[in-house]
C-alpha cells in the first residue's frame, strides 16, 4: 500500500547546479532556513544545492535517481530541527 502512495506524491527536485559538490537536504519546517543558508553560501562562492522532502514515508519515487544524477560524488548533508 505504501508503494502505491508514492505514485501520488510530488517528485523531489534538487535546486542548484548539477555540478554542486554539496547538497543540503531537509524536510518539514527546515525549508526556509536551508534555502537562506544555500543562498548565502552560493553568494559567498560555494557551490551548494538544495533538496527538500515534503514526504519521507514513502520517499518520492525519483529521490534516489535525483541524488545520483545530480552529482554522484557529492556530499549530502541532512539538516533537521530538534526541539
- Decide the pairing of beta strands 48-53 and 22-27: parallel
Q: What is the mean pLDDT of the chain?
A: 87
- Does position 44 have pLDDT exceeding 90, yes or no? yes
Predicted confidence (pLDDT) per residue in 50-80, tens digit? 999 998 888 899 998 888 877 667 788 888 8
Instruction: Kindly report the pTM of this predicted structure.
Output: 0.82
pLDDT greater at residue 81 or residue 51: 51
For residue 42, what is the DSSP state? H
pLDDT greater at residue 36 or residue 20: 36
Residue 60's CB: how many other CB atoms inside 10 A? 18
Per-residue confidence (pLDDT) for residue 72, from 0 to 100: 65
53, containing H or E segment: strand 48-53
Alpha helices by DSSP H, 1-83: 2-5, 31-43, 63-70
Per-residue confidence (pLDDT) for residue 1, from 0 to 100: 67
Amino acid at each position: 500500500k505504501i508503494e502505491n502512495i508514492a505514485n501520488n506524491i510530488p517528485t523531489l527536485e534538487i535546486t542548484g547546479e548539477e555540478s554542486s559538490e554539496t547538497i543540503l537536504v531537509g524536510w518539514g519546517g527546515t525549508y526556509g532556513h536551508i534555502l537562506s543558508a544555500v543562498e548565502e553560501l552560493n553568494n559567498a562562492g560555494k557551490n551548494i544545492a538544495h533538496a527538500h522532502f515534503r514526504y519521507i514515508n514513502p520517499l518520492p519515487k525519483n529521490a534516489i535517481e535525483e541524488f545520483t544524477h545530480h552529482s554522484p560524488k557529492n556530499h549530502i548533508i541532512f539538516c533537521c530541527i530538534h526541539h
